[in-house]
Amino acid sequence: MREKRRHYTRRDFLRLGWTLTAGVALPPLLTHCREDDGYVPPPETFVDPLMLKSVNGLLDMTLTLSYLTTTLNGQTVTLRNMYGTIPAPTLSINVGDTLRIKMANNLPPNPPDPEPTKHLRYHNSTNLHTHGLHVNPGIISAGLYGDYVMDDPTLGIQPGETRQYQYFVRSDHPDGMFWYHPHLHGSSAMQLASGMAGALMVRGPTEQVPEIAAAKERIFVFQAPIYNANGTLGTFSQVANNPSSEPAFLVNGVRRPRLVMRSGEVQTWRFLNAGIWKFLNLSLDGHTLNIFGMDGNPRHTLKPSGPFALNDPSMPEGIVLAPANRASLLVRAGAPGTYYLRTMAFQMAFSTNAQAAVVLPDDILAEVVVTPVPFPMELPKGPLPVTPFLDPITDEELAAHGGLKRSIVLRAVFNPPPNPTAPNPPITDPPANQVVHPGAELNDWVYQTDNTSLANKVWAIGALSTAASTNPRVPPQNPPKEYIPFQSSRAITQVVDFNSVEEWTIYNMNNIRHPFHIHVNPMYIVKINGKPVDEPYWVDTIGLPNQGSPQEPTSITFRMRFIHYSGPYVMHCHMLVHEDMGMMQGVTVT
């Protein structure tokens, strides 16, 4: 091995310290090795997150929250943090294992905050969500919590407190990539935008496929931490603006890291979009990205490239990941050379008289150097194992288990602008006080501080009637009588029978791609804009089609089994600023 001198940052030395204490291999960042024929590849700067693994069926850990001062993309920042790393460690467990996490909130007390919107005053209170896991959503016993995300800010883990979580992962649970992050209503966007997120790998039969078992695994946690010129994130207004202003994505805390592969080598790449706003549209120059799992749900066969989320035919096509989406894929290195992992241009919102178009530009996320020393490997040729938990939901199963159909609407309702001569007034939308009847709750529903892009809007989920419609692009009841944000005392809860199977249609009445997420159970996507999809698929988050309006919304339709666990949980938009402002609704399985 040949050493190469370089300047090490504090972050590098922290990684070296983890290596010595955790007993893991040195990351490639700190090595520079000669290939067999004397070729010396360039050094890697890609660093996988620290990984913590279960032992004898248990991973038991403490997740400490505190402020961390570090360097991101050349700037010194001081941000809220989990476990002292950005991203947080990757947790690795097997199907059938138990995961125990004690969350210790060592953040300072919530500062006095004059913000009129009361639920936004808890910047340092928190809770924990294991995103995508099919686990108990309730309180297991006194002092022991499952994936309990009821999101009343006063019920969060306050500074100085601890909370014990425990998750049993069933033996028939899908194996793949999940993740964990804070999820307290009003503080989720600020905490995730600080970098408080980590991957959660559930290992199972898919990884025992010989070609996948032989492939080196790489974890890509895409984050875009938000901070001001002083390197801090102190107010909700900092996360409340237009998504195009969000900083560039980092990969595991590094801007445009380099990976090195040998020609013909196959690697397993795990992608997680842990941003709070922006979609990713991923492509690797000159290579096919072969997807074998989406949102932790494995597929029977490889699917070249994608997309799974909805794409715009006018845009380049890649693997489209809405905020919170994950993809597991295999990539086989081609001819020697340098290639770029890119997020290609993507249209998140179309222009209307109330909102400007948002087109995310191209960006290079990582560099991949393929060396000339061959290392031939194969991709799987046969069918891949998939748990019966993900069997298709047929018409017959739906009918035999109740067959109830529901209609849900995600909608930002615009208030009249404060200045009637303002540009692009939302003249086609009714004012919010005609639809949501805010009354004394107005200050909790409309965020006016600092004149951000959220101003003069109410973010809500509405419930429609279940009557059939002859036009798949027109909801049964247009519009709902009320849109009620989550923090309202009159917020709607969907009550569902235990062991039922239902079909829900989620309507988007805005021109932006709200990413819809529901806790505990995965969604089996069967229709888009009322038309059956060619190949139904399982996800836990999906970007809704944009170009929606109150008169002609867009939609996705999914089926879901409400099995194994009863109790309350939530569904919401995973543009977390929208969720923090009320675009969330309760679900209770009884």
Report the CATH number that the domain containing residue 191 is assigned in CATH.
Answer: 2.60.40.420
Q: Does 407 share its domain with 310? A: no
Which DSSP string do the residues of 234-296 spell out, in sequence order? --GGGGSS-GGGSPPPEETTBSS-EEEEETT-EEEEEEEE--SS--EEEEETT---EEEEETT
Tell me how far apart the alpha carbons of residues 426 and 14 are, in angstroms, rounded to a whole number.
51
Q: Is residue 233 a part of any domain in this protein?
A: no
Q: Does 323 share its domain with 472? A: no
Last residue of a domain, one of 364, 387, 410: 387
Phi, psi for 191 (deg, rounded to 5): -75, -40
Q: Is residue 577 a part of any domain in this protein?
A: yes
Q: Note whether 482 and 436 are within 8 A (CB).
A: yes
Which DSSP string do the residues of 133-182 spell out, in sequence order? -----SEEETTEESS-----GGGSB-TT-EEEEEEE--TTSPPEEEEEE-
Q: 10 Å Cβ neighbour count for 185?
A: 26
- Number of domains into which the chain is organized: 3
Q: Is residue 220 a part of any domain in this protein?
A: no
pTM score above 0.85: yes
Q: Is residue 240 a part of any domain in this protein?
A: no
3-state secondary structure 363-432: EEEEEEEEECCCCCCCCCCCCCCCCHHHCCCCHHHHHHCEEEEEEEEEEEEECCCCCCCCCCCCCCCCCH
Q: Give the pairing of strands 326-332 and 319-321.
A: unpaired
Which amino acid is it at 23? G
Q: Does 436 share its domain with 527? A: yes
Positions in the chain whose pLDDT score sits under 50: 1-33, 306-312, 417-419, 422-428, 468
Per-residue pLDDT tens over the stretch 474-529? 655 555 666 788 988 888 899 999 999 999 999 998 888 999 999 999 999 999 99
Q: Does 446 share its domain with 332? A: no
Q: Does 544 share its domain with 398? A: yes
Q: Is residue 580 a part of any domain in this protein?
A: yes
Last residue of a domain, one of 156, 180, 208: 208
Last residue of a domain, one of 387, 411, 434: 387
Q: Does 479 share its domain with 334? A: no
The pLDDT score that the predictor gives to residue 510 is: 87
Q: Does 354 share its domain with 453? A: no
Q: Is residue 236 a part of any domain in this protein?
A: no
Tell me how far apart the alpha carbons of residues 429 and 217 are, in angstroms, rounded to a whole number.
49
Per-residue pLDDT tens over the stretch 378-405? 999 989 999 999 999 999 999 999 999 9
Q: Is residue 213 a part of any domain in this protein?
A: no
Q: Does 346 share its domain with 405? A: no
Q: Which of 156, 181, 166 is nearest to 83 (CA)?
A: 181
Q: Note whether 494 and 466 are within 8 A (CB).
A: no
The pLDDT score that the predictor gives to residue 435 is: 67
Q: 10 Å Cβ neighbour count for 528?
A: 17
Q: 10 Å Cβ neighbour count for 35?
A: 14
Per-residue pLDDT tens over the stretch 70-83? 999 999 999 999 99
Q: Does 20 share its domain with 104? A: yes
Residues 436, 440, 446, 447, Cα dihedral to 10°: -170
Q: Does 575 share its domain with 454? A: yes
Q: Does 325 share its domain with 400? A: no
Tell me how far apart the alpha carbons of residues 1 and 298 are, in angstroms, rounded to a whole number.
38
Q: Report CA torsion sign: 537, 543, 544, 547.
A: negative
The pLDDT score that the predictor gives to residue 458 is: 85
Q: Note whether 501 and 560 are within 8 A (CB).
A: yes
The pLDDT score that the predictor gives to residue 354 is: 53
Domain that holds residue 55: 10-208
Q: Does 273 share its domain with 402? A: no
Q: Is residue 23 a part of any domain in this protein?
A: yes
Q: Which residue's entry shows tokens 């801007």?
A: 255
